[in-house]
Amino acid sequence: GLDPRARIELRELLKALAAQGKAILISSHILTELAELCDACAIIEKGRLLAAGPIAEILARAQGGTGAEGGAAGAGTRELLVQLVGGAELEARLAACERALLEQPGVQGVAIAGPKLKVRFNGDEALAARLLTELVGKGFPVCGFEAVAADLEDAFLKVTQGRLQ
């Protein structure tokens, strides 16, 4: 492992080499850092190549899209976070909002996570906008609504079917 300063210096060196057109092969388990450095990646498990290509395409596939066009704007299964205004009745509002969400088209599952609801959603931006409109129309004090972007760890777990070793 590298200390923070050495990691920064290594990252800058790799960026400089890439800017010179040099191809660099990196093997690492620190997937969040790889996403910052790399244009493309390969996911290998037990000696088998499971996925390879530009990071944007691999992330889009992890979010349910089929390629570069299937990211946050396209249809596909992804996670949405809905946050309600806090206060004394927050738990009751979260439970009521959870029930309301489960009745909406495109919603495949809901979990309460602190002051937020994690929504497993399959749909495009227009359907997500209708979902938000429905919640506000039903009187839920929504103060946050966002699609969670997939990262390389999500893509790895999806490609390897979540099997941990």
Please give the Cα distance from 51 to 117 (Å, whole number): 31
pLDDT in tens, 85-128: 988 889 999 999 999 999 999 999 999 998 899 999 988 889 99
* Same-domain pairing of 92 and 59: no
State the pTM of this model: 0.58
* Same-domain pairing of 12 and 35: yes
CATH number for the domain that contains residue 96 = 3.30.70.100
The answer to whether residue 43 sits within a structural domain is yes
Name the domain count of the chain.
Answer: 2
pLDDT at 1 over 90: no
Q: How high is the pLDDT of residue 108?
A: 93
Are the beta carbons of 11 and 22 closer than 8 angstroms?
A: no
The answer to whether residue 164 sits within a structural domain is no
Q: What is the DSSP string of 55-115?
A: HHHHHHHHTT-SSGGGSTTS-SEEEEEEEE--STTHHHHHHHHHHHHHTSTTEEEEEEETT
The answer to whether residue 165 sits within a structural domain is no
* Same-domain pairing of 41 and 11: yes
The tokens for 64 are 């349910």
* Same-domain pairing of 55 and 116: no
Average pLDDT of span 137-149: 92
* Same-domain pairing of 59 and 79: no
Name, in order, each residue with C-beta under 8 angstroms of 93's C-beta and a sequence gap of 6 or more. 84, 140, 141
The answer to whether residue 100 sits within a structural domain is yes
The answer to whether residue 137 sits within a structural domain is yes
Are the beta carbons of 122 and 76 closer than 8 angstroms?
A: yes
Q: Which amino acid is at 98?
A: E
149-to-1, 59, 69 alpha-carbon distances in Å:
28, 8, 14
The domain in which residue 13 lies consists of 4-69+152-159
* Same-domain pairing of 87 and 26: no
* Same-domain pairing of 58 and 83: no
The answer to whether residue 33 sits within a structural domain is yes
Are the beta carbons of 79 and 118 closer than 8 angstroms?
A: yes
* Same-domain pairing of 33 and 17: yes
pLDDT in tens, 17-50: 988 999 888 888 888 888 888 889 999 888 889 8
Are the beta carbons of 106 and 75 closer than 8 angstroms?
A: no
* Same-domain pairing of 64 and 86: no
